[in-house]
Amino acid sequence: MEIARVDLRGVVAGDLGWEATRATVTASMVAYGCVIITHDALGLDLCQAMFTRVLPDLFALPVEDKQRVDYQGQRPGWEWESLGIREPMNADNVREFTNILWSEGNPEIWQDHLPISFCRLEMIVSISKNMLTLEEMMEMLVLEGLGVREKSARGHLDLLRHSIRMSRYGEPQDRETSINMQPHCDDTMATMIVQHEVEGLEVHVGDGRWVAVPPEPGTITFMAGEQFTVVTNGRVPACLHRVRTPSSRERFSVLFGPRQKGGVAVCPLDDLVDAEHPLLYNPLNHEKYFKWRYSEEGLKFKDPLKVYCGVYKDEATAMV
Ligand SMILES: O=C(O)CCC(=O)C(=O)O
Ligand SMILES: [Fe+2]
């Protein structure tokens, strides 16, 4: 079986296509924690403008400016940097982010009779709103596919917060492997990745085999993070992925995804725990886990999630 590709255009809950899509999505999520979506929700023009204008402008700002917002980068040996915005569907949050980055002193540029600051804001908000709709649809498809009642699934969605991250990769430092982000699973609930023109995303499909997800226009990669493994009581594995860019071209990506709201433990959904499927994960306090997972101790383990909150530790305690 390959990672499923599903066309979500025109798919509506309860309609004819819904059940077939649900079966395909669920099977691929159970096997790889990953599905490739085709959708026009983001709009090709919007993506083009985002990747060729907004992102290059954003990352061209001086590091001192970028460090005034949620910025990661400047790691020795890593040609990678990333900027994040929480709840980017809310224009106020995006306005705050752009105002901090492009404070006075940056002359306003006009484009198609609109100030560029307005275009940037509109683009980020619009991409985020569309991503949120797709994200919730994907979670509903998988959860329903696993047998979760609609009400429980909606209750789960209400416990999420969202953020968008925009990343830039320079030339891979390791010319031999061309890897510019090492294999990992995200510690989120889910991540949706939009690529543009430059290759990079690869997904592990078992036995050391990696599959490249090509940066095709109109496609978005949906992947489960560790929190989703807990919520689904182990049915959906967190997707193991990495970034590898043999062309060495500069690469941008846009990532959108939910995590559990702060202070609310992540728990397996009741509908997914029964005699046939005993409880596999204890409630996960994300803040504490996050600190431990990236500590010297947490980094020793192959499956830190299981070590931290798994009911059965068995092979989880294997070291990296
Ligand atoms: O840039 C990408 O395609 C993936 C990035 C990623 O996996 C991450 O930031 O966690
Ligand atoms: Fe990732």
Matching residue, tokens 């940056």: 106
Which protein residue has the closest C-alpha to ligand 1 atom 8? Answer: 186
pLDDT in tens, the chain (320 residues): 899 999 999 899 888 899 999 999 999 999 999 999 999 888 899 999 999 999 999 999 999 999 999 999 978 778 899 999 999 999 999 999 998 988 765 666 766 666 677 788 889 999 999 999 999 999 999 999 999 999 999 999 999 999 999 999 999 998 899 999 999 999 999 999 999 999 999 999 999 999 999 999 999 999 999 999 999 999 999 999 999 999 999 999 999 999 999 999 999 999 999 999 999 999 999 999 999 999 999 999 989 999 999 999 776 666 76
Q: What is the spatial distance between Cα 171 and Cα 194, in angstroms, rounded to a whole number?
A: 19
Instruction: Say what the ipTM of the complex is.
Output: 0.99
Tell me which ligand sits closest to the C-alpha of residue 82: 1
Predicted TM-score of the model (pTM): 0.95
Closest atom of ligand 1 to CA, residue 82: 9
Question: How many other C-beta atoms lie within 10 A of the C-beta of residue 193?
Answer: 25
Which protein residue has the closest C-alpha to ligand 1 atom 10? Answer: 186
C-beta of 253 in contact with ligand 1 (< 6 A) = yes
Nearby residues for ligand 2 (ion, Cβ within 5 Å): 186
- Of 124, 128, 187, 133, the closest CA to residue 157 belongs to 133
Which protein residue has the closest C-alpha to ligand 1 atom 3? Answer: 201
- Of 161, 247, 189, 218, the closest CA to residue 43 belongs to 218
Tokens representing residue 57 in the block? 């402008």
Closest atom of ligand 1 to CA, residue 167: 1
Compute, in angstroms, the gap from residue 78 CA to the centroid of ligand 1.
13
Residue 6 — φ and ψ, nearest 5°? -125, 140
